[in-house]
């Protein structure tokens, strides 16, 4: 009986549950970018809008009985749409705050989830990526800054390596336990190693996205899905903290 009471009092709602609001958006949005790469902008927009519609309708159906049917379903739908808008705004606030605080030179981050990472691994590479995570692990969808997308060839190799080293160091200093993931045409493996990362600090695999789709970036290279661990998961210190 005491355990039940604890579940209904101190265990009723944990503080981390509020992450679910922006996490809902952070789970869906990474699929948009990769659906653009895979199928094109229009199909991606239609699919993601459809997903958000399904989520809003599902939220409406859940809330409707709890409002004791005093509101019309359309009104409940509008309420669910407002909640979704709040989720999008909170997700964007997290992104803006994190990127401004970090001051990255090469990348920008978007708050995401482990679910998005694992499902994208299956979608793009038919592979579940093994992860060592803790309750504090935060997942981020990684992108090049918009003005650099497709323009890295205008930068020297040394500039890119220096920017990667700077951004990784900033992430390591500011983020206690984070995992970045993303997809891009061309492999960054050699650049990551040249910037000082060990091979145990990232995973990279070729995707099913057709090579010709990279022409939108002015390139003709295969797409790679990559996962970058802000802290070396093979290090004894990291392992001791996650056992």
pLDDT along the chain (243 residues), means of 10: 67 73 94 94 95 94 82 90 95 96 93 95 91 89 84 82 94 90 91 92 94 87 94 52 47
- Please report the pLDDT score of residue 149 as a whole number: 72
Q: What is the DSSP letter of 129?
A: P
- Please report the pLDDT score of residue 133 as a whole number: 86
Q: What is the DSSP letter of 130?
A: P
- Please report the pLDDT score of residue 238 as a whole number: 46
- Please report the pLDDT score of residue 136 as a whole number: 87
Picking from 178, 182, 191, the residue whose alpha carbon sits closest to that of residue 224 is: 182
- Please report the pLDDT score of residue 113 as a whole number: 95
Q: Encoding tokens for residue 42?
A: 């229009």
Q: In angstroms, rounded to a whole number, what is the distance separating the alpha carbons of residues 148 and 20?
A: 31
Q: In angstroms, rounded to a whole number, what is the distance separating the alpha carbons of residues 239 and 82?
A: 42
Picking from 22, 18, 26, the residue whose alpha carbon sits closest to that of residue 179 is: 26
Q: What is the DSSP letter of 187?
A: -
Q: What are phi and psi of 192, to 5 degrees?
A: -65, -45
- Please report the pLDDT score of residue 236 as a whole number: 46
- Please report the pLDDT score of residue 12 as a whole number: 66
- Cβ atoms of 111 and 91 within 8 Å: the answer is yes
pTM attached to this predicted model: 0.88
- Cβ atoms of 107 and 138 within 8 Å: the answer is no
């Amino acid at each position: 009986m005491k355990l039940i009471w604890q579940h209904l009092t101190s265990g009723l709602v944990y503080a981390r549950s509020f992450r679910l609001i922006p996490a809902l958006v952070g789970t869906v949005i990474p699929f948009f970018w990769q659906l653009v790469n895979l199928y094109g902008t229009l199909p991606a927009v239609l699919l993601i809008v459809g997903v958000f519609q399904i989520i809003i309708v599902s939220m409406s159906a859940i809330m409707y009985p709890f409002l004791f049917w005093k509101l019309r379903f359309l009104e409940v739908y509008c309420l669910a749409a407002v909640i979704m808008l709040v989720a999008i705004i909170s997700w964007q606030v997290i992104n803006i705050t994190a990127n401004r605080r970090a001051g990255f030179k090469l990348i920008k981050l978007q708050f995401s989830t482990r679910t998005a990472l694992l499902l994208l691994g299956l979608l793009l590479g038919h592979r579940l990526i093994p992860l060592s995570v803790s309750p504090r692990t935060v997942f981020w969808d990684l992108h090049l800054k918009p003005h650099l997308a497709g323009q890295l060839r205008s930068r020297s190799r040394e500039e890119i390596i220096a920017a990667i080293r700077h951004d990784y160091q900033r992430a390591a200093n500011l983020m206690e336990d984070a995992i970045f993931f993303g997809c891009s045409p061309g492999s960054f493996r050699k650049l990551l190693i040249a910037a000082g990362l060990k091979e145990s600090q990232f995973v990279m695999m070729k995707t099913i996205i057709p090579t010709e789709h990279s022409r939108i970036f002015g390139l003709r290279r295969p797409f790679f899905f990559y996962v970058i661990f802000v802290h070396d998961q093979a290090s004894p210190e990291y392992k001791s903290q996650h056992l």
